[in-house]
Amino acid sequence: METGKVINRISNRLRRRSAALQETLGMSGAQGNILNFILVEGQKHSIYQKDIEKEFGLRPSTATEVLKALEKKELICRVSEKQDARLKRIEFTSKAEEIRHLIAAEIGESESILLKGITEEERQIFIAIGERMLKNLDEAINRVKSTAAPANTVRLNCKTYCNETGECAAFGQSCPGMTSGCSSSDRICCNFLVSAQQRHKNRIKVILVAEPLGY
């Protein structure tokens, strides 16, 4: 568990560093992270809610809530696309532009601290490994939603979307993620565990069985 432990420690310390600035600006951590994404990526291409859901692994309802909060603070606005008025492009406002340098400075300082004594080659290797880890996590989640859950809903006679169609409802959504899926009371892919550290020795035991047992 050393890998997850180190990643968790880095994440927590970065979160604490940014919390002070976000509190000064009157934003939550999620709002600050999403606003920064819009400020940076919005200069390169159009940003839509589905992009934010995919980047941060959010459910549509959660992303909508955060974006509404940013709209209320007059930091973003939504603009209807000419070809499809239902499609709303997310743009940052002049008020957000005014605090861009504060956010950029905080990120730049954190980046400098993180990379102190680390070569460019080491940085590239770290990024490549991190991307592979993210891919591994996504593949594990997809296996649950495409193979394990559908098979077991049939076996257990659960009234779910995947029982009827053979695949998770998440795959029909714009940005399927870990928490995406149907809302059936029989849904079995409800809980996913990513453990960064085991504080109590021997509390959790993993048993590997060399035969199919249905799950």
List, for residues 63-93, the tens digit of each pLDDT value: 899 999 999 999 999 988 888 777 889 999 9
Residue 17 neighbours by CB under 8 Å, 6+ apart = 106, 110
CA trace torsion 29, 33, 34, 35 (10° rounding): 100
In Å, how far are 10, 65, 214 from 68, measured between CA atoms?
29, 5, 43
- Give the dihedral sign, CA 15/106/77/41: negative
Separation of alpha carbons 198 and 54, rounded Å? 29
The reported pLDDT for the residue numbered 180 is 76
- Angle (deg, nearest 10), helices 94-114 and 2-24: 140
Q: Which one has a higher pLDDT value, 163 or 18? A: 163
pLDDT at residue 119, rounded to an integer: 95
Quick: pLDDT tens for 114-167: 999 999 999 999 999 999 998 998 888 888 888 888 999 999 999 999 999 888
Residues 6+ apart with CB under 8 A from 37: 47, 52, 55, 56
Average pLDDT of the residues in 34-50:
88
Report the pLDDT value the prediction gives residue 69, as an integer from 0 to 100. 92
**Amino acid (one-letter) located at 126:** F
* pLDDT category of residue 214 using cuts at 50, 70 and 90: low
pLDDT for 213 equals 64
Q: Please report, rounded to a whole number, the percentage of residues in the chain having pLDDT higher than 90.
A: 23
Report H helices in 144-194: 149-155, 161-165
**Sign of the four-CA dihedral 183, 189, 193, 194:** negative
Q: What is the mean pLDDT of the chain?
A: 84
CB 49 within 8 A of CB 79: no
Please, are residues 32 and 18 in contact by the beta-carbon 8 Å criterion?
A: yes
Is pLDDT of 1 > 70? no
Q: Quick one: pLDDT at residue 20?
A: 78
- Say what the pTM is: 0.64
Specify which residues 92 forms β-bridges with: 76
- The Cα–Cα gap between 76 and 141 comes to 32
Domains along the chain with CATH numbers: 12-114 (1.10.10.10), 119-215 (no CATH)
pLDDT at 26: 83
